Amino acid sequence: MDEKTDRADPAWPLVVSKDHTAPSVFRPDALLREARRQKGLPLVAVPEICVLDPDGDVVRHIKRKGSGRTHEGWACYHTELVAFDLDDVGEVGIVGCAVGAPFAVLVAEQLFASGCRLIVSVTSAGQITPIGPTPYFVLIDRAVRDEGTSHHYLPPATFAEAPDSVLLTDAEQELRGLTGISVHRGPTWTTDAPYRETEAAIASARDLGALAVEMEAAALYAFANAAHRSIICFAHVTNAMAQTEGDFEKGEANGTTATLAVVAAAIRAWSASARRPDLG
């Protein structure tokens, strides 16, 4: 074998120069157009507020209660969109089990192409820096980019920042009003390889200030910044990476009660900021 072909190119695929401003040839709206044609689906906008539920617990909870309905116009090949009414914030769409950075961003791109205006992502996460007994939530303000997807949206950097700091502050204020739900604000570590969370990798993430490890936030925030979209991410810290027996307990109704309360608070903050006059 040729020595040159036997040796991996260290510049491929992520370090090589990319034009992050160049338009993509393959667009989500084009894919959705063809999916609608093939499936015979109507052109119906999704709810303007949608939730990503990587674990699928909230979707299963809604279906068990019989309070959700399949959205008739959602043309994604890989997922189902369930619409339901949430507390005082109105109709919300939710997609379950879109786990990991590539899948989450694929779905996010398609949601925004279908009429969504805000995505709230709530993913289960492992504790990196102990700040209290689990379970609790982290309002993610930035995420370490230890995954591949974000590098296709933004130039190299250690963190992907939340796209709207004002929304984070408003959400933080709204979340303080929740009873019996602990929410902290801070960074997380996003990884594509949960079963390669070595002691050295965990220590490095902790040194960068990461409170928890999850699989989606860095990519979602990179996409949101590049595409000028509204996304807010939460980590539901439910475990210490199975280091003790009885780990991964999420709380009442498998964590769905608290999760829906957090989602509703974030939506109220976003709705209030959308109504606020532009003072700039």
Q: Is the pLDDT of residue 150 over 90?
A: yes
Structure confidence by residue, pLDDT tens digits, 258-269: 999 999 999 999
Structure confidence by residue, pLDDT tens digits, 8-19: 555 566 667 789
Whether 27 is in a domain gets the answer no
Q: Is the pLDDT of residue 124 over 50?
A: yes
Q: Is the pLDDT of residue 199 over 80?
A: yes
Backbone φ and ψ of 75, nearest 5°: -105, 10
Q: CB atoms < 10 A from the CB of 124, how many?
A: 22
Whether 39 is in a domain gets the answer no
- Rounded to two decimals, the pTM is 0.92
Whether 246 is in a domain gets the answer no
8 Å CB contact between 82 and 63: yes
> Encoding tokens for residue 222?
């990179």
Total structural domains within the chain: 1
Give residue 1's pLDDT band: very low, low, confident or very high (50, 70, 90). very low
Domain range for residue 74?
Answer: 48-240+253-275
**Nearest one of 166, 148, 154, 142 to 235, comparing CA atoms:** 142
8 Å CB contact between 208 and 108: no
Residues 6+ apart with CB under 8 A from 59: 53, 68, 82, 94, 95, 96, 97
> Residues in the chain, how many?
280
Mean pLDDT of the chain: 91
Whether 73 is in a domain gets the answer yes
CATH code for the domain in which residue 261 is found? 3.40.50.1580
